[in-house]
Structure 1
Amino acid sequence: MDIEQIRLFISVYRARSFAAVAKELNIAPSSVSRAIASLEEKLQTRLFQRTTRRLAPTQSGEHYYQRVEILIEELELAEQEILTQNSEPFGTLRVTASTSFGQTVLAPLMKGFHAQYPKIRVELTLSDSQSNIIDEQFDLAIRHGNLSDSSFIARKLIDVRYLLVASKEYLEASCSIQAPQDIQKHRLISFSYNSFNKEWNFRRDQNTETVSISPMLTITSASAIKECIKSGFGISLLPDWIIREELKNKKLVSILDDWHISGKNFNNAIWLIYPTRTFIPAKTNAFMAYLQTKVS
């Protein structure tokens, strides 16, 4: 078994291009093509359909990738486990998170993490759309809310409480809010997601009220919503982790504090998500452990 040949096959499968892999490895495209042809001859099957415009895996290629990708990953992890037994974690760690969480929570922690783990290079990708962990080869994803994909391992980072907030200036110029239904008289700003932009739920003791909303503005970013609220545009429902400083310095005011408020689901949390595997790389474990000691 030629391990390097199989690794090359995995790279071509993911890139869907001989040229892209050759460029990444700084070798000739013909060398990549010959290596794949050699592997196909050894397996007595075609792994890719080749045209002048595209390269696509055959059914055999798909099946082979699903089997060997796990084996090569386990081999690499085993090698890394041995290499790191007597040394500190190292390597490039690819992490994806929402833009707001990355800017508000993660970015301020990077200096301290680097000081503790100077051999780990972090690539932090911030996006308000969920990246595909496997296809984009992330080591770790930080996700909000309820989890739907059971093929990944999930570790809870923090529980999240949503608060109804507005600026002091807006509240002074608007009608008072004494009960959940009163919010319908106000300008509302909401997340664009269906779990937040149709209704907000209020719970107090055994009493639960659902209030239909018609937001004047919907945004994907919690940071952007916060700025709109601070400017006096209206009121919104925001997670506690992004407005702590604003509540402390009175730039924002919390409304209906005696109610537990959320979108469709009250069980809100932030999760650390990573691919299912027997061994977790030391660099990933180090980053998760660091976050769990710093984020609250």
Structure 2
Amino acid sequence: MDWDKLRIFYAVADAGSLTHAGESLHLSQSAVSRQIRALEESLGSTLFHRHARGLILTEQGELLFDATSAMARRLDTAVARIRDSVEEVFGELRVTTTTGFGSLWLAKRLPILYQRYPELKIDLMLEEQVLDLPMREADVAIRMKEPSQADLIRLRLMNIKMRLYATRSYLEARGTPATPEDLSDHRLICQNTSSAQVAAGARLVRELMTYNIPSTLTVNNYFGVLQAVLNGLGIGVLPDYVTEDHPHLVRVLDTIESHDVPVFLAYPEELRASRRIAAFREFITEQIMEKRQRDKDTPQM
């Protein structure tokens, strides 16, 4: 099999266009077209359906694209491991975590990491979907449960809890609930129990809904819940780490909270020696240790 033709095929399939693939490969459209035709002839199969809007893979093309995609990921891994053998920490690091943790806790701490390693390029992917680390959909993940995928190195960072919070000004204007039944006089801001979230958070919301709360606002991530709480719309269900950066939030009904939610750092076994991974792991663990110390030094309200 001609590796050069496979490289060109992968570029075309990924771009969906001969022209765009040619631009990325620095080849003319006609040269790319000739290579694709030659590959199809050697395989005895049509790899693309051609129409005015671009190219669509045939069933045979999909099979070949899956194989070349896996090859590209392994090559990327090999290149990353080779580059990680030098002393400097640089290059791309793809980090995946939830929208809430990434936007409310991680992003605002990244300047510390960039100050240490100014040539690092971080691709921060915030989503509830669990990406496949062994398949290199990301390099490192921070997840709100222990990863189940094989061939991963796991590090438990901390536990968090979901609790009720409101602004001091909101409570001064609307009153502070003394019992769970008093929540019926307030608007509850939370994630919908059917949206992607940690199970402990969903269970807590279901329990709160049994108190006949007439007005609610549901948002599909904790960043949105926090913004609504900060704007005085009601009492919100939020992870406890938000209070570190928003000290004017007041905890409501101290006896109500979720079960512990474990937070794990995970990355593929094959990246064990990566200097970028090591730098990120060291940065995260330092930040967690500092948070624990601040929590210890802060008197309970």
TM range (shorter): 0.7 to 0.9
Tell me, in whole angstroms, the C-alpha distance in 1 between the residues paired with 2:15 and 2:32.
12
Tell me, in whole angstroms, the C-alpha distance in 1 between the residues paired with 2:277 and 2:31.
33
CA deviation map 1:247-286 (0-9, x unaligned): 3xxx22112223323xxxx453455566x78446653454
Please give the secondary structure, in 2, of the residue aligned with 1:177: coil
Q: Greater CA deviation, 141-150 or 175-184?
A: 141-150
Tell me, in whole angstroms, the C-alpha distance in 2 between the residues paired with 1:186 and 1:152.
47
Q: Note if contact 2:46-2:58 (Cα within 8 Å) is conserved in structure 1.
A: yes
Q: Note if contact 1:95-1:125 (Cα within 8 Å) is conserved in structure 2.
A: yes
Tell me, in whole angstroms, the C-alpha distance in 1 between the residues paired with 2:60 and 2:271.
28
Query: Does 2:237 match 1:237?
Result: yes
Aligned to 2:38: 38
CA RMSD in angstroms, aligned pairs only? 3.8
More helix by share: 2
How far apart are 1:182 and its partner, in Å? 2.8
Aligned to 1:256: 253
Aligned to 1:287: 280
Q: Note if contact 1:199-1:213 (Cα within 8 Å) is conserved in structure 2.
A: no
Query: Does 2:179 match 1:182?
Result: no
Q: How does 1:195-214 map to 2 (within 5 A)?
A: 200=205, 211=211, 213=213
**One-letter amino acid matched to 2:60:** S
**Are the structure 2 counterparts of residues 293 and 26 from structure 1 closer, same or farther at C-alpha, using a change threshold of 3 Å?**
farther
* TM-score normalized by the length of structure 2: 0.72
**One-letter amino acid matched to 1:52:** A
Identity %, equivalent residues = 28
Structure 1 unaligned residues grouped into runs of 5+: 204-208
Tell me, in whole angstroms, the C-alpha distance in 1 between the residues paired with 2:31 and 2:150.
35
How far apart are 1:197 and its partner, in Å? 7.8
Tell me, in whole angstroms, the C-alpha distance in 2 between the residues paired with 1:215 and 1:149.
38
Q: Note if contact 1:190-1:197 (Cα within 8 Å) is conserved in structure 2.
A: no
Q: Note if contact 1:74-1:279 (Cα within 8 Å) is conserved in structure 2.
A: no
Aligned to 2:299: none
Q: Note if contact 2:193-2:206 (Cα within 8 Å) is conserved in structure 1.
A: no
**One-letter amino acid matched to 2:229:** I
**Are the structure 2 counterparts of residues 42 and 153 from structure 1 closer, same or farther at C-alpha, using a change threshold of 3 Å?**
farther
Aligned to 2:294: none
Aligned to 2:109: 109
Tell me, in whole angstroms, the C-alpha distance in 2 between the residues paired with 1:39 and 1:33.
10
Please give the secondary structure, in 1, of the residue aligned with 2:62: helix
Please give the secondary structure, in 2, of the residue aligned with 1:287: helix
**One-letter amino acid matched to 2:87:** S
Tell me, in whole angstroms, the C-alpha distance in 2 between the residues paired with 1:81 and 1:288.
16
Q: How many residues align?
A: 280
Structure 2 unaligned residues grouped into runs of 5+: 196-200, 292-301
**One-letter amino acid matched to 1:109:** R
Q: Note if contact 2:164-2:253 (Cα within 8 Å) is conserved in structure 1.
A: yes
**Are the structure 2 counterparts of residues 102 and 197 from structure 1 closer, same or farther at C-alpha, using a change threshold of 3 Å?**
closer
**Are the structure 2 counterparts of residues 267 and 55 from structure 1 closer, same or farther at C-alpha, using a change threshold of 3 Å?**
farther
**Are the structure 2 counterparts of residues 79 and 2 from structure 1 closer, same or farther at C-alpha, using a change threshold of 3 Å?**
farther
Query: Does 2:91 match 1:91?
Result: yes
How far apart are 1:187 and its partner, in Å? 1.4
How far apart are 1:83 and its partner, in Å? 3.9
Aligned to 1:268: 261
Please give the secondary structure, in 2, of the residue aligned with 1:169: helix
Q: Greater CA deviation, 188-197 or 164-173?
A: 188-197
Q: Note if contact 1:133-1:140 (Cα within 8 Å) is conserved in structure 2.
A: no
Please give the secondary structure, in 2, of the residue aligned with 1:257: strand
